[in-house]
Copies of this chain bind each other. A is one copy, B any other.
Amino acid sequence: MEILKAVYQLASDEADVRARAEALAVEQSVEMPASAIRSEFARRETLGRVGAIERVGERDFRVTLHLAAATTGHECGQLMNMLFGNCSIQEDVRLVDVELPDSLLEAFPGPRFGVGALRARLGVAARALTCTALKPQGLSPDELGALAGVFARAGIDVIKDDHGIADQRYSPFAARVRACQRALDAAMRETGRRVLYAPSLSGSPKALHEQVRIAADAGVEMLLATPMIMGLPTFHELVSESIRVPIMAHPAFSGALRIDPPLFYGKLFRLLGADAVVFPNYGGRFSYSRATCEALATTALGPLGAHAPAMPVPAGGMTVERVPELLAVYGRDVMLLIGGGLLSAGDALFERSRQFVDMVAAGAARAA
């Protein structure tokens, strides 16, 4: 039987941890007393088993379960169900790592573009990339377009919608996407420099497929999605079947999941096809530690079968002044996302944005 390894951190006393791990293996597979299983096939081919148990803290253990890969049906939703379905409701359990067998790596081929093709599209071979966000909600399509034009002329590489910009009456998806892409096209003609617009997708599956079509018709070359809001299988279907451009994944609605961020954003979002993963940077409005952020970036870029790397996109409360520090931490394979930190410049928006671009370029020059 082909094995999917799921690694959990379990809060338990040492005396109880073996029994607790066995109960978890049952919970995450057959979900009934193992002694009551009457089918030899089920017992042999679907019952989860406890692998290594390792103490990692006073009352914390790292427990590896061996789950049957066949129980996932090689489908995204059922994979998550096997990894963290019922045990998401058990407060002593945290999902910290996953090791995928070949059949699952094949079923989920990961980024179609990844870091390399994203760089190629932008014509930026080596330096860190720059990114900003169009906001606030409530701007009209023309106002968003005007804002996008300023950012583009300042030399930002990727301009994304704020993830709260959806399909609202005051700024319908089709109208704003066309306005923003038009503004970028005009800026590119002026500057001769490539810039990608990534509109935010939102809504039910049918609306999402329709938005992908509208964006493609408007010449849009990147997209933003929030996998946990649309649902992971919906995200995966959209990437596999509709989307023909790089996709950036946003972590909204997923922060409280008790799945380690490096695993969830760096490995699982990438597995499902994210070419770039936005995550809350340390030292901003969110509570991730620097170590978590570094591990996340390393995981997104590191080995995962033969999959392309995904670009780490730290964000959230970042400022232009922190660019040298962030480049020192993340190196060149990063896309720095500063939104409010640029917009707060008011009348000096263009200059602040240009400063951001220049500081990233200077960092690259220093590193060379």
Are B204 and A138 in contact, with the CB atoms below 8 A? no
| A153: interface (CB < 8 Å) | no
Interface string of A163-201 (1 = CB under 8 A from B): 110111110000000000000000000000000000000
Are A170 and B75 in contact, with the CB atoms below 8 A? no
The residue that A30 contacts in the complex, of B135, B231, B235, with Cβ under 8 A, is B135
Interface string of A334-364 (1 = CB under 8 A from B): 0000011001111000000000000000000
Q: Which of A81-89, A104-112, A295-303 contacts B (4 or more CB under 8 A)?
A: A81-89
| A320: interface (CB < 8 Å) | no
Q: Within A1-47, which residues are at the interface with B (CB < 8 Å)?
A: 23, 27, 29-33, 35-39, 41-43, 45-47
Interface string of A123-152 (1 = CB under 8 A from B): 000000000010111111001000000000
**Which residues from chain B contact A45 at a C-beta distance below 8 Å?**
138, 170
One complex includes copies of this chain to the number of 2
A205-B233, A234-B230 are known contacts. Are A73 and B163 too (CB-CB below 8 A)? no
**Which residues from chain B contact A170 at a C-beta distance below 8 Å?**
41, 45-46, 70
**Which residues from chain B contact A244 at a C-beta distance below 8 Å?**
none
Are B90 and A285 in contact, with the CB atoms below 8 A? yes
A233-B203, A233-B204 are known contacts. Are A89 and B136 too (CB-CB below 8 A)? no
Interface string of A244-283 (1 = CB under 8 A from B): 0000000111111111000000000000000000001000
**Which residues from chain B contact A42 at a C-beta distance below 8 Å?**
136-139
CA distance A42 to B162 in the complex (A): 14
Are A75 and B203 in contact, with the CB atoms below 8 A? yes
Are B164 and A82 in contact, with the CB atoms below 8 A? yes
Are A162 and B204 in contact, with the CB atoms below 8 A? no
Chain B nearest Cβ from A139, distance in angstroms: 6
The residue that A47 contacts in the complex, of B136, B143, B251, B259, with Cβ under 8 A, is B136
Are B204 and A234 in contact, with the CB atoms below 8 A? yes
Interface size class of A (residues with CB under 8 A): 35 or more
CA distance A135 to B88 in the complex (A): 20
CA distance A241 to B252 in the complex (A): 26
Q: A23-B285, A71-B138, A78-B203 are in contact. List 6 more A-B contacts (CB 8 A).
A: A29-B136, A31-B164, A43-B138, A72-B168, A80-B253, A89-B286
- Listed by A's residue number, 14 A-B pairs whose Cβ atoms lie within 8 Å are A29-B164, A31-B136, A31-B164, A32-B339, A39-B139, A70-B170, A77-B204, A77-B226, A81-B163, A84-B253, A85-B226, A89-B255, A204-B237, A231-B234
- Which chain A residues have a beta carbon within 8 Å of chain B's beta carbons? 23, 27, 29-33, 35-39, 41-43, 45-47, 70-73, 75-78, 80-82, 84-91, 133, 135-140, 143, 162-164, 166-170, 202-207, 226, 228-237, 241, 251-259, 280, 285-287, 316, 339-340, 343-346
